Amino acid sequence: MEELHQPVLLSEVLEVLQPKPGESYMDLTAGYAGHASRILDVTQNYKDTVLVDRDENAIKVLQEKFANSPVKLRHQDFYSAVLQEIECGNCFDMILMDFGVSSPQLDRAERGFSFAKDGPLDMRMDQEQDLDASVIVNKWREGEIVDILERYGEEKPGFAKLIARTIVHGRPWTSTKQLGETLAKFGRGGRVHPATRTFQAIRIAVNDELGEIERTLPLIPKLLKPGGRVAMITFHSLEDRLVKDFLKEESSLGEESPLEVLTKKPMTAETEELFINPRARSAKLRAAKKK
């Protein structure tokens, strides 16, 4: 099968999870099984492996890849999947959470994630949900847009208001290219495109990305077996702060702490990986082990 997505920090994930033959594994953002395939090569435990993704396209690829396998596939958001496994009394030796947007999502214009490609204003990871980017840019009030630009795009208040006003007064918006080219006029120098933070903010709002992480992280210790490991990959400061604070809190009680942090500092991509996959430059890996 064609390699659809280059798994980020693969060697680092294997280093911290240390998969062993027979161990169980849950991938809460399985994507196209880049990480899962390598872990399963070691564990060979397909019946106790659960792969989760809310992207229907990813699930279709996983169904093809594991058509003759007892691997369990879940087409749902990772918070719902975690709740389901806990309610069933299931625990795992390894859990992986990769919060990034996959390359196929970014590269396919029809998904509407990137201003570099002309497509509809969509940005939904789960294409069955109602809220998409076009609703936000064409129907939300100016104050609501300012709020997400400040919270999720980390824009300064004055600039957030300028962008929000431009969006409201420029309606209707029909494509990523149209919006991206308009925002390009607000260039402030530097390597970051002026539309980057706005597109990030809208995408996070569409998919409730930070809310889902906040709801899920406190449940992770319940889903790990004693000695079980969890690895979490983030791609921007908002995600990394949530993971960092969670690990700090969960490991701050000494002997009573449920988790032991395995990464004192986040692991990042080596030069060789960055050459092959430049999108790994912002990736950070943090990991912990259940006592």
Residue 59 in contact with residue 83, Cβ under 8 Å? no
Angle at 28 between CA 71 and CA 230, to 5 degrees: 105
Cα separation, 220 vs 142, in Å, equals 37
Strands 284-290 and 49-52: unpaired
Find the mean pLDDT for residues 156-166: 97
**In the predicted model, is pLDDT for residue 143 greater than 90?**
yes
pLDDT for the residue 1 = 39
**Confidence band for 129, pLDDT divided at 50, 70 and 90:** very high
DSSP 145-156: HHHHHHHTS---
Q: Give the percent of the chain with pLDDT over 90.
A: 86
Scanning 157-208, the segments in alpha helix (DSSP H) are 157-169, 176-183, 196-207
What are residue 197's phi and psi, to 5 degrees? -70, -35
**Confidence band for 137, pLDDT divided at 50, 70 and 90:** very high
Residue 2 in contact with residue 216, Cβ under 8 Å? no
**For 30-45, what is each residue's pLDDT tens digit?**
999 999 999 999 999 9
pLDDT for the residue 2 = 41
Find the mean pLDDT for residues 6-29: 96
pLDDT for the residue 6 = 80
Q: How far is CA 45 from the centre of its chain?
A: 25
The structural domains of the chain, ordered by start, are 10-104+211-290 (3.40.50.150), 110-210 (1.10.150.170)
pTM value? Answer: 0.93
pLDDT for the residue 4 = 54
Residue 92 in contact with residue 63, Cβ under 8 Å? no
Cα separation, 47 vs 45, in Å, equals 6
